[in-house]
Amino acid sequence: MKERNNYIETDGLYWESDTHEWFHDKSTTKYCRNEDLHGTKLNWAAFFVRDKSTGEYTRVLMDIETNELIRDDTSLEAQGVFIDMMKASKRYDDENVEKEFELSFCEECIQMTNHLNGECQKCKAKKNDNR
């Protein structure tokens, strides 16, 4: 059995079962929840999970809202890359949510343009419905 890693366990015991111990990973949790350069963040928590029978540690990411296990890994670097990829993916998904665009004539641009909620997406002028 491997020796205990006191550095990993410094953030405190979160939960314990007959087979595993879950320890907070506050720095990785903070990395998930802090906004990146584009303002994207993840509502995840990170833990170190120690298998009591082997003494081995695994890094775990969990969705706070659903308590769903997102990923487990033994590498900090792999976990960091995964978090960055998920933030980029979330940003892309959030930007491409189905929107109700309407193709109509803009009197400011003097051309046919996409309008969202009555606003021209090219010049940002509001559509004049008083024709």
Band (pLDDT 50/70/90 cuts) for residue 131 is: very low
Q: Which amino acid is at 68?
A: E
61 pLDDT above the threshold of 50? yes
Q: What percent of the chain has pLDDT over 90?
A: 52
Residues 6+ apart with CB under 8 A from 5: 57
Query: Residue 14 belongs to what domain range?
Result: 8-95
**In a domain? residue 31:** yes
- pLDDT over 90 (residue 98): no
69 vs 79: CA distance, rounded Å: 13
pTM of the model: 0.68
Mean pLDDT, residues 75-103 taken together:
81
Q: Give pLDDT tens digits for 23-48.
A: 999 999 999 999 988 889 999 999 99
Whether residue 109 lies inside any domain: the answer is: yes
Task: Select from 44, 58, 60 the least CA-distant residue to 5.
Answer: 58
Q: Are residues 82 and 129 in the same domain?
A: no
User: How far is C-alpha 57 from the chain's CA centre?
Assistant: 23
